[in-house]
Amino acid sequence: MITHLRIDNRLIHGQVAITWMNHVGANEIIVCNDKDAADSIQQMALMLAAPGKKVLVLSVTDTIAYAAEHQYDTLFVICKFPADALAVMKSGVVVKTVNVGNAAPIAGTKYVMVDKSIAATAEDAMIYREIAELNGGKLTSQLIPTLDSRDFLNMLKSAGL
């Protein structure tokens, strides 16, 4: 089971490698993104970002297969983009919690800053809403476990998305 699915285009960083790993109780991080899974240099960099932790960098399809094969494990999955997370959610794999972390603006897109560390386009907002529907109608944003989680759908609405 995916105990915690985080959408964070920074992937593995200090908040993830230490704080979230400990909070979730996972012993491995699964990075879910097709492009990163096909890039051996990016894979190596991600593994170095979490010393002493097991890191898997998998395509969306391989993440879904891995989660299905390890349904009794405590899995922590980081999806680079909301579309990656939506594909995982649509697969039917059990996901206990979903959290929007960071989403840096992507040059050349018509993004809106939803929060100081989260940019989203109108297309992203539609995907986030679909993720929420698949997650019982809710989606939260929480940078670190010690901060309160916020209703991400309300954040999108406040940002005009």
Among 4, 13, 23, 70, the active-site one is 13
Count other Cβ atoms within 10 Å, centred on residue 61: 14
Is-catalytic flag, 4?
no
Contacts of 49 (CB under 8 A, 6+ apart): 11, 12, 13, 17, 55
SS (H, E, C) the chain: CEEEEEECCCCCCHHHHHHHHHHHCCCEEEEECHHHHCCHHHHHHHHHCCCCCEEEEECHHHHHHHHHHCCCCCEEEEECCHHHHHHHHHCCCCEEEEEECCECCCCCCCCEEEECCEEECHHHHHHHHHHHHHCCCCCEECCCCCCCCEEHHHHHHHCCC
* Residues labelled as active-site residues: 13
